[in-house]
Structure 1
Amino acid sequence: MSRTALACVAPPSRIPLAQMRCVYDCSEVQAKLDKLNAQEHAALLKTYERMLAKGAQRFQVEEALIKSPWSAFAREPAGS
């Protein structure tokens, strides 16, 4: 296959393997932080502050969305 033929190959359909997901509600964390007694719970205070600083969005991999990884590999064009 020539280079021009490779450039004309359609990309495989999108395989949904991962997504961004919200793992907690920042407003609830902020409310708990506001109620917290800093002197008694210094470690928890730092944890809540880190949670707010990092945000609630996490990258989650969904391995169960593909029945077999070999079927995904079979859909890839040769040589990629």
Structure 2
Amino acid sequence: MSSPTAHTSIGTPATTAYHYVITIQASNGAMWTQDGLLLRGRGATRDECLRDVVQPLYAEFGRPAVILFFSLEPNTLAPEAGQ
């Protein structure tokens, strides 16, 4: 199952927008994939971002749950990609 998370803000000079994709599997075998954007200030860590993404999923699906996949990248394209 997939559920996009919509955000309209793309970041400011003091923040960076990161696109994430995460898939978890709950103890009952159910799997969930979600994607969305996180806005983070300078100095944010990958670990902090992962925790911010996974905590609501743990709250919804319970623990234990296994993270099967996690991707986090700046939500920008190379300048030449738009040409």
Which TM-score band (shorter chain)?
under 0.3
Greater strand proportion: 2
Structure number with the bigger relative contact order (C-alpha 8 A, sep ≥ 6) is 1
Larger radius of gyration: 1
Q: Which has the higher helix share?
A: 1
Q: What TM-score comes out, normalization by structure 1 length?
A: 0.23
